[in-house]
Structure 1
Amino acid sequence: MYAHIEATVTAIVCLLTAFVIQRIYDKEQKRQDLQTITGIKWFGLAIFAWGIGAFVTLISTKYFEFSASSKWLIYWSVFISLINSLFILLSLPSIEHQKERNMIVRIVERFSVKEFMMLFGGIFSMIAFVFIATSYNNQEISNTFIWLIDIPISLVVALALLYELNKAFSNRNMKFMYLPCFSLFILIVIAVSHRIIPYEMVQEYISLSNWSLLGIITALSFKFIFILLFSILLYSWKFLSEKEQQQSEFVLLEAERNALRLENEKLKTANESHIDTIQSITKKLNQKKKKVAKLQEASKIILSDRQKEVLANLGLCGAKKSYTEIAEAMHISVDGFQAHIYQIKKILNISGSAGKEQLIAYATENDLLQYATIECD
């Protein structure tokens, strides 16, 4: 009767809890990609393993008339317990805290999930084969002997889980959770001890019915406390991940703001530098313009009206007439005309044998023919 109650309650509670955890995992997986999300999956599978194990046990005892002490059901229970331990071990690295990891977690982290499953399965398959081959047809070997396969790994997992939970809750300033964590460990130790203590030793101190009731209470209690602690850890995970996400977004925005501010300062500095450069170039350009204007002013050719007249007459008639003919037409002496020509050449910086042609060209190009006073025809 007690075995049916334990299997029924465990199956209902664990399967429903596993379904809820799976929905949470699916929802959170779409929102974020964190190691903690993987931890939700493994914890959910660990609880599901308890539920499916209890469900198969319940069906076997109620509808297929298996005895609760049947070796096949004991083998099945040991298998489920090992699978549960495997999933819990895989979930431990995802429990976030800033403290140093314990040795078990460091070992798990050295392997990939596939590698660790193969290693775990290989080791315990060999051990289980030896136990099954030894106990299957040997009626003298009690069921407690079969549970020896699972006892060491259950205690190791319980210790690692206690360490990681305490560190995680401490990291979240939830030290008041130490007591539930320690209670979970004690209940696991009691449940494990209940499996391996022979009934002959117990009968001297307590009735078998009370002993069975104690085993059921401890088994259900540590499962419920495990689910409770996981739920609290899950919500603290969610709160912490949202807080860390907000902080990371804030840090990212702050970094972008600082980068934009630095870029703005660089642009301002570059702009000021460009403005200074432009102002300096403008100033130099203005200075150059002034110098050019001065040079142009200094180099400007100023001819007197008489010189313009002489140069215009030369430009108009120089190709056809000699200096003497042009001087006679102007009613001035040849010496006077040549003196004017000499002064004009000096002003225009003209020299050489081709001076006459240069003077004619200058008069034509600079529109001085308007000052001519004679006619060539």
Structure 2
Amino acid sequence: MYVTLEYYVTAIVCLITAFVIQRIYHKEKFKNQSSISIIGIKWFGLAIFLWGFGALINISLIEVSQINPTHKLVIYVGVLISLANSLSILLSLPSIEHHKERNIVVRLVQRFSEKEFVTLFSGILIMIAFVFIVTSYSNTEISNNFIWLIDIPISLIVAFALLNELNKAFANRNMKFMVVPCFLLFVLIVIAVTQRIIPQDKALELLDQKFWSLLGVITGLSFKFLFILLFSILLYSWKFLSEKELKQNEVELLNKEKEILLKEQQKLILANESHLDTIARLQERIKESDFEINSLKESTKITLSDRQKEVLGNLGVCGEGKSYTEIAEAMNISLDGFQTHIYQIKKVLKISGADGKEQLIAFAKANQLLQYASIDNDTSD
């Protein structure tokens, strides 16, 4: 009675839970296909589904086929379902996120791809299970407790690895208080496994038959429900942290964009300052050009006498090769008279400095005054 009740409760709860988890998996996969945590949801959901599916098979064997719960066929189904469940939990362990070192079991799983690990795990254990089944099926001397020895070492290893990873994950999420239910899950699994290998006749020497059966049902259901509870808490905390990390990533992205914009702004400010300097220099050059233009305009307004034009014309023609004295002699005027004309011309043109002669020659050439020259460059010869 108790065993059948356990199967019914397990089938109902685990199948419903597995359906909900798979819906969550497909929803999260649609949002983010690259997250390893989403792969863990798939394997955790499959592990829970296998419990429910195994219970459903046992119900069919016991209720429909009227097979005794202690029959070896029921035990074989239980062993195979338990091994498949252990495989699913093992594949889900790498997805439990934390920043601490992985235990050796998880590192071993991570060395292979999912397909490789499933093939290796299934191949080895199916061969061992086949040997156990062939040996024990027709041999009445081999008890059911001996058959469970195929699964018990694997279950204990998986339980220890799961405990270790859950403790690290909850500690990483600042949920250290979860170490108590995690340890309780491990204890319940150990009790459930231990009950399988203890011969019933030995147990009944110390305990009542109903109590022994009730203990098995309670431990079996308790560790399954606690596993589902811990997984739900882990899933919720992962969801909460992922959303928190998503917001933090958005903040970091906005900060990076802000830094880029500030750098661009700084570049624009520097470029603007550079343009302002260029504009200032251009304005200075424009002012200088305006001054030169105005000077030229003013120079075109200068009125010179015919004699002054002649002096400038003669200076422009031969001033570079002759001195003032030579030019004055060629013009048949005195040096003082020639220099007087030069002085007056400089005063009118506002020319000063040591290079006054050169400036006068340049002015004469620039203003077409060479046509007024009365001598040429060879007059003195």
Counterparts of 1:21-40 in structure 2, within 5 Å, are 21-33=21-33, 34-40=35-41
Query: Match of 1:339?
Result: none
Q: Distance in 2 between matches of 1:110 and 1:195?
A: 32
Offset, 1:347: 5.6
Offset, 1:144: 1.2
Offset, 1:288: 4.1
Q: Distance in 2 between matches of 1:243 and 1:141?
A: 56
Q: Distance in 1 between matches of 2:62 and 2:200?
A: 21
Q: Distance in 2 between matches of 1:271 and 1:124?
A: 75
Counterparts of 1:243-322 in structure 2, within 5 Å, are 243-291=244-292, 293-294=294-295, 297-298=298-299, 302=303, 304=305
Query: Match of 2:242?
Result: 241
Q: Helix, strand or coil for the counterpart of 1:148?
A: helix
* Residues 169-205 of structure 1: per-residue CA shift (max 9 Å, x gap): 1111111111111000000000001111112321221
Q: Does 1:119 align with 2:94?
A: no
Q: Does 1:2 align with 2:2?
A: yes
* Residues 302-359 of structure 1: per-residue CA shift (max 9 Å, x gap): 5658999xxxxxxxxxxxxxxxxxxxxxxxxxxxxxxxxxxx999622499xx9xxxx
Q: Does 1:173 align with 2:174?
A: yes
Query: Match of 2:20?
Result: 20
What RMSD over aligned residues (CA atoms) do the two structures have, in Å? 2.6
Q: Distance in 1 between matches of 2:368 and 2:272?
A: 50
Amino acid at match of 2:111: R
Counterparts of 1:155-170 in structure 2, within 5 Å, are 155-170=156-171
Query: Match of 2:91?
Result: 90
* Residues 48-96 of structure 1: per-residue CA shift (max 9 Å, x gap): 0000000010011100111212222211111111111111111111111
Amino acid at match of 2:13: V
TM-score, normalised via structure 2 length:
0.78
Offset, 1:265: 1.1
Offset, 1:293: 4.5
Q: 1:148 to 1:279 in 2, by over 3 A?
A: same
Offset, 1:122: 1.4
Query: Match of 1:206?
Result: 207
Q: Distance in 1 between matches of 2:288 and 2:123?
A: 92
Q: Helix, strand or coil for the counterpart of 2:150?
A: coil
Offset, 1:236: 0.8
Q: Distance in 1 between matches of 2:113 and 2:301?
A: 93
> Is the contact between residue 39 and residue 94 of structure 1 (CA under 8 Å) also seen in structure 2?
yes
Q: Distance in 2 between matches of 1:176 and 1:11?
A: 30
Query: Match of 2:355?
Result: none
Q: Percent identity?
A: 61
Q: Helix, strand or coil for the counterpart of 1:52?
A: helix
Q: Distance in 2 between matches of 1:298 and 1:89?
A: 101
Amino acid at match of 1:16: I
Aligned residues: 320
Amino acid at match of 2:32: Q
Q: 1:5 to 1:295 in 2, by over 3 A?
A: same
Q: Distance in 1 between matches of 2:278 and 2:368?
A: 42
Q: Distance in 2 between matches of 1:75 and 1:50?
A: 14
Q: Helix, strand or coil for the counterpart of 2:245?
A: helix
> Is the contact between residue 301 and residue 348 of structure 1 (CA under 8 Å) also seen in structure 2?
no
Offset, 1:120: 1.1
Offset, 1:31: 2.8
> Is the contact between residue 301 and residue 347 of structure 1 (CA under 8 Å) also seen in structure 2?
no
Query: Match of 2:369?
Result: 348
Offset, 1:124: 1.0
Query: Match of 1:54?
Result: 55
Unaligned runs of 5+ in 1: 309-343, 356-377
* Residues 219-261 of structure 1: per-residue CA shift (max 9 Å, x gap): 1110011011111111111111111111111111111111111
Larger mean CA deviation between 5-14 and 99-108 belongs to: 99-108
Q: 1:347 to 1:40 in 2, by over 3 A?
A: closer
Amino acid at match of 2:133: I
Q: Distance in 2 between matches of 1:51 and 1:109?
A: 27
